[in-house]
């Protein structure tokens, strides 16, 4: 693998790491937010 190919591969790998990493973060944040809403709804029910 040439040095140039290594830099190209690194760029694409970084892009996919950021995209999939942010997607994972959003997925976890959605789960957390749903759990918080469910908990508050249960606690706040008259």
Partner 1 sequence: MTTGAIPTTLSATRISRWTIFGWFALLFLVASQVIAIAISPPDRDMGDLQKIMYVHVPAAWMTMLAPLTVLVFALKYLWTRREEDDLLAASAAEVAATFAGLTLLLGMIWARPTWGVWWTWDARLTSTLVLFLILCGYLALRAVVDERERRAQWSAAVGILGAINVPIVYMSVRWWRTIHQIQSSPATVDPAYVLGLRLNAIAFLLVMIYFIRRRYEVASLLRAAEHVSENAALRGRAS
Q: Residue numbers of the site for partner 1 (CB under 8 A)? A: 2-5, 7-8, 10-12, 14-15, 18-19, 22-23, 26, 29-30, 33-34, 36-37, 39-41, 43-44, 46
Smallest distance, partner 1 to C-beta of residue 35, A: 9
Separation between Cα atoms, residue 36 and residue 43, nearest integer Å: 10
Smallest distance, partner 1 to C-beta of residue 27, A: 8
Compute the Cα dihedral for 15, 21, 22, 23 and give only its sign.
positive
Smallest distance, partner 1 to C-beta of residue 28, A: 10
Q: How many residues does the chain have?
A: 46
Assigned token pair, 31: 């789960």
């Amino acid at each position: 693998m040439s040095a140039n190919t290594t830099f190209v591969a690194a760029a694409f790998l970084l892009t996919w790491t950021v995209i999939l990493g942010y997607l994972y973060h959003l997925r976890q944040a959605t789960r957390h937010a749903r759990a918080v809403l469910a908990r508050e709804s249960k606690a706040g029910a008259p």
